[in-house]
Amino acid sequence: MKKYISAAAVTLCLSMGVQPAAAEELFDDVKENYGFYNEVEYLFDKGIINGFPDGTFRPETAITRAQAAIMLGKKLGYDGEKQGTTFSDVDSSSVASGYIAEAVENGIIAGYPDGTYKPGKLVSRGDMAILLARTYELELLNNHNVEFVDISENMAAYEAISKISQNYITQGYNVGGYTYEFRPNQPLKRGEFSAMMARADFPEVFAVSHYGQIVEILDVGTSDAILFTYPNDETLLVDTGSDPELLQSALDDLLYFKGNIDTLLLTHPDPDHIGNAAYVLENYDVKRVIDNGQQVDTPEYTAYQEALENSDAVYQKAEVGDNYSAWDATTVEVLHTDDQSENIDEGTIVLNINRYKNDFLLMSDAGPETEAELLASDRNLEADVMILSDNFGYNAGSQEFIDGVNPKDAFFSWSATEDDLPPAIFDTLGDRFTKTTVTGSIRIIEERGLNYTIWK
């Protein structure tokens, strides 16, 4: 995994009291290719975890109740001073005694009816759910139903499991199709516990996506830039906007650990959509570039072409029906593109991104001719989320087209006033219509292709 630390990302970490880690390995047994390296690094930098005297962290070793109490206590700011406890098996000589005593006092952990704490007992996944729900005061979000087949409402950890699932701290184990297990009695490894804590502590970076996409509609002013992150961590950036400072700020935070963009898709050569294309190619190690083949004589397009030529990215011209997904369960399909159109807006790439029951329709700058062509096709245009054309309110966005798409939610990144927008958008969508120029960047977490949650 490539490490990328930008000035913006460092500022973000410092603002959270986190010092960026040095380039050397954290522990002898935690290398950068370890699956939870970034989570372990994050907690280490915050002083929540440390290793053993021999320089190891032992991420594959099961975590004990004493170790969990220490980690959670450090997160909560306990001083950890050794002290006597009410438990017969935890005396004042135990390194964990202070953390255990304070955690019990604050209702984070509890002992057993026989008066013991059992500090050496292994923490199960069900135990972990209870501990994290209490430590982080998690709430039920009711954004999706808990679908683990091996938990039930009569379990002590049921509500806590629901909380950590709905807060994107765990995704469980896929056992085929859309069936998932939580495995509440399975002992938790030190590396796994670290991952869960990092997700609870810094969800903006570490939250899991439940085998779905994370869609970021970036606030880059009055233009488009949309970042998709697949469950396998590959990224697709659709358009770049035109304000370099806004784009850099957004991408540097979101790509703090990954550092690169796998695919850059430019819907058409309008400056508002390709204005930062050269910057992206020069700074984010882009692997593949896709555009609609239209050529224009503008400084932005010239800069993009020069940066593309000087990069190692593979170029591909979009064709209707192409699928650019980096995840087998998802399609990123081109519904429309026309490099021969005299109007660059009508030549734009229109995308449909589908995962099981979820559809996202990206209209870019499509105008009335493109809308009419899509309506005339045999294609079912219905979509859960529609990212509206920047021409919406001028010559695009007919009532017929809105009815054909029938979106549950619609987003707009243009600064038009309500007077510039057609009444249909308000009559049909009401409070389902959101402008990023008002709310800022919007995150949509698509959950296993079943539903999605919008964070504004």
Average pLDDT on 391-413 reads 83
Structure tokens at 214: 């994370």
- Write down the pLDDT at residue 202: 84
Beta pairing, strands 442-447 & 214-217: antiparallel
For the cut 60, the answer to whether the pLDDT of residue 16 exceeds it is no
Tens digits of per-residue pLDDT, 235-250?
999 999 988 898 998 8
- Write down the pLDDT at residue 415: 55
Helix (H, G, I), strand (E, B) or coil at 92: coil
- Write down the pLDDT at residue 304: 98
Q: CA-to-CA distance for 444 and 454, rounded, in angstroms? A: 5
Average pLDDT on 305-327 reads 95
For the cut 70, the answer to whether the pLDDT of residue 5 exceeds it is no
For the cut 70, the answer to whether the pLDDT of residue 8 exceeds it is no
Q: What is the CB-side half-sphere exposure of residue 247 using CA atoms within 13 A?
A: 26
Q: How far apart are the first and last CA of the chain?
A: 29
Q: CA-to-CA distance for 27 and 24, rounded, in angstroms? A: 9
| Number of other residues whose CB lies within 10 A of the CB of residue 24 | 5
- Comparing 108-112, 264-268, 325-329, 446-450, the range with the smallest average pLDDT is 446-450
- Write down the pLDDT at residue 23: 42
Q: Are 59 and 42 in contact (CB under 8 A)?
A: no
Structure tokens at 430: 């009401």
Average pLDDT on 249-254 reads 86
- Write down the pLDDT at residue 447: 59
Which residue type occupies 178?
Y
Which residue type occupies 326?
A
- Write down the pLDDT at residue 33: 86
For the cut 60, the answer to whether the pLDDT of residue 4 exceeds it is no
For the cut 60, the answer to whether the pLDDT of residue 14 exceeds it is no
- Write down the pLDDT at residue 15: 38
- Write down the pLDDT at residue 26: 82
Structure tokens at 171: 């995704």
- Write down the pLDDT at residue 418: 61
* CA triple 306-307-312, angle to 5 deg: 120
For the cut 80, the answer to whether the pLDDT of residue 101 exceeds it is yes
- Write down the pLDDT at residue 152: 92
> Across all residues in the chain, what is the average pLDDT?
85
Q: Are 190 and 31 in contact (CB under 8 A)?
A: no
- Write down the pLDDT at residue 328: 74
- Write down the pLDDT at residue 254: 84
Query: Which residues are within 8 A (CB) of 226 and not within 5 positions of it... i.e. 6 or more apart?
Result: 215, 216, 217, 218, 237, 238, 239, 362, 387
- Write down the pLDDT at residue 295: 96
For the cut 70, the answer to whether the pLDDT of residue 211 exceeds it is no
For the cut 90, the answer to whether the pLDDT of residue 203 exceeds it is no
What is the DSSP secondary structure assignment for residue 139, as one 8-state letter? -
Q: Which residues pair with 148 in a beta bridge?
A: 180
- Comparing 73-87, 253-267, 272-286, the range with the smallest average pLDDT is 253-267
- Comparing 113-117, 239-243, 253-257, 358-362, the range with the smallest average pLDDT is 253-257
- Write down the pLDDT at residue 231: 74
Structure tokens at 438: 């008002």
More confident residue, 390 or 31: 31
Per 3-state DSSP, what percentage of the chain is helix, strand, and coil (rounded to 5)? 30, 15, 50
pTM of the complete model? 0.58
- Write down the pLDDT at residue 194: 95
- Write down the pLDDT at residue 363: 94
Q: CA-to-CA distance for 410 and 168, rounded, in angstroms? A: 24
Average pLDDT on 251-265 reads 87
Q: CA-to-CA distance for 362 and 318, rounded, in angstroms? A: 15
Query: Which residues are within 8 A (CB) of 194 and not within 5 positions of it... i.e. 6 or more apart?
Result: 36, 39, 40, 43, 49, 59, 71
Q: CA-to-CA distance for 115 and 447, rounded, in angstroms? A: 43
For the cut 80, the answer to whether the pLDDT of residue 161 exceeds it is yes
Most confident of 23-37, 182-196, 410-424, 438-452: 182-196
Kindly give the interhelix angle for 125-135 and 65-75, rounded to the nearest 10 degrees: 20
